[in-house]
Structure 1
Amino acid sequence: MEKKYQVFVSSTYEDLKEERDQVIKAVLEMGHIPVGMEMFSAADEEQWKLIQRQILESDYYVVVVANKYGSLGSSGISYTEMEYDFAVENKIPTLGFVLNEQSPWPSQKSESVEKSRKALTNFKSKVKSKLVQFWGSKEDLHGKVSISLIKAITTNPRTGWVRSSEVIGPEVMKEIARLSSENAALRNEIDRLKSTSIEKNDEIREVVKILDRNEFTISIRFSSAWEGADQYKATLLDIFEGVAPNLQVENSLPEMAKNLALHIAKSTGYYKDYPIGKNKIIGWAADLASLDLIEPSKKKHSVHDKETYWSLTKLGKQVLIRSRRIILEEGLASADGES
């Protein structure tokens, strides 16, 4: 059964119409269901209760923040922040997208009142306390929402929705049970497949252990100079976890360097042009390729595009899905301090 997920899209409205359209387009292109407060009418019941109900029924929650705090509810808190708090309190997986401070932005779409600017700063800090993506344009936002949703659905699948015609009813279940009980050959085949699956799981576990055994010192620069670059200890497993989510589609070497810097340093203040040395990124890419976790991307690019692109292999995707559980089961270290 093909699942469709409901994605609640939250943001200020007037200043982010085009950006919201791109987020909704990204969700629709993936075959899922976007919803947001501008789609609702308060004619039959009070608006906030309706919004709460829609958030509770959603599988994922996306919040887009720029330089407006937005209209306020009766509590003096903006509806966008109220929606975000409600989603977090009810453990709805939240995906945050905050405007990059270095990106150009129209002054008329920014807060002019000091009280609102302060409230916006506090709200951004709240959103950034979780892992977020920073965007600079509506096109950039579209791509990052798509990648983040793919990652969220892969690592944290939710209930979702299916067509009623695809749901197997009790009569069909009885017939399946009857046929299964009469078919000894099928049961033997299932046992064989289970044995094969166990072998495959052992292979994934062994790859994760190999990644964890190889440790490196990573230099991350926060200016154009390499002198004074911060030093971090990280395993090849940390490196894989830093770059793999964005390799589910594909990613270039410069972007892999930025993703890894964010993952290891937990900061967006890194130098934007190869915060980690290009030769280091190439070397680690070769290490991951030797373990059959990544491969050169098969997507076509412009002849003028000289970048090298990589993507996850089938094994790489399986390792990405299962690595966090194996880390917990084996007591392995990770870059975010879990063990």
Structure 2
Amino acid sequence: MNVRYQVSLASVGAELRSERDLLVKTITEMGHIPIDLTTAGVLELDPGIIRRHLERSDYLAMIIAQAEDVSERELGRVQLACNMAADFGVPMLALMMDVQPPDGPVRQDVARFLQRLRMSPIGLVEECGDSNVSAVSSLNRLFDRFERPGWISGKALPSSDVATELARLTRENADLRRHVPGNAELEQRETARMDAITRALEGNKILIPLWERASSTWEKPVEMTLFDFFLRFAPELVVETSTAAAAEYIPIGVCEMNPRGVQARWVVPQHDLNLWLTDLMALGLVRPSKRKHAAKDKNQYWRLSRTGRRFLAHVRRTALETGGHRHVGFTSEYPVVMDGEFK
């Protein structure tokens, strides 16, 4: 949409009518709305009227003469308008005339006024040229430096149907925002979910049968909770692992059997391993890996799910914060400590 700015004009100094007319013409040719406060006598009216007018303005542009014939009353009224504009956050542009007056020294009160404008965060002071090109450049710098909402034509506004739909969407968005839980509520939900998974894992025990390859005999099954099994096995699933590799890792990494050499001496049955992985998958902790492998690779690959990674991080972080972490691993000798209790 074509945005137009309402620019209020004022001047300080005698016989500046032609300069104001040039500025009015320039603003009009730029497609904006000029309001000459000095010519219309608005600055001589009640301050309440001036305030209401400046409240509707986008910018305030002034032509300031620095000669000795500047009227103190005129300067005072313009300063009052500037103070009101500053209250409303209206950016101000001061175009200086007679930078070096040939007929007398620069008025000190005018110089102080210009200095305050330079120091203002919404003020811009520039020299006033003799052509509208200079005025256009100054106004464009004012518009670019201080963006304002401006005005648009009623014809450019959306139809009533569009406005009604926007209002409806705004209400729906506000309702949705009210129902979106805050950070504290989300954290409580996440903690409750982690606690529910912990209870489910701790409430179920598994027997891990171990097959010794060398003697072809079964070792005594190792009993543990799914919670302990997951904590010891999960680090292998952070990236992914195959069921074949897991069958060799579990006797040493989970059941803590003495390896006695480089080659794995024990394995666990594949069907039991698949059952344990299925139980963990039912709790949303693991899932089959989607990474591609060689066509001749017939292994099954598993990895932690997003929930599994969050749960593992939650348990490990809790152990670290409560001092239950041991670099030798979580064993019966060095248990996981959560909330001040041994798990």
Which of the five TM-score ranges fits, normalised by the shorter chain? 0.3 to 0.5
TM-score, length of structure 1 as denominator length: 0.41
TM-score after normalising by structure 2: 0.41
* Higher RCO structure (Cα 8 Å, ≥6 apart): 1
Bigger Rg, structure 1 or 2: 2
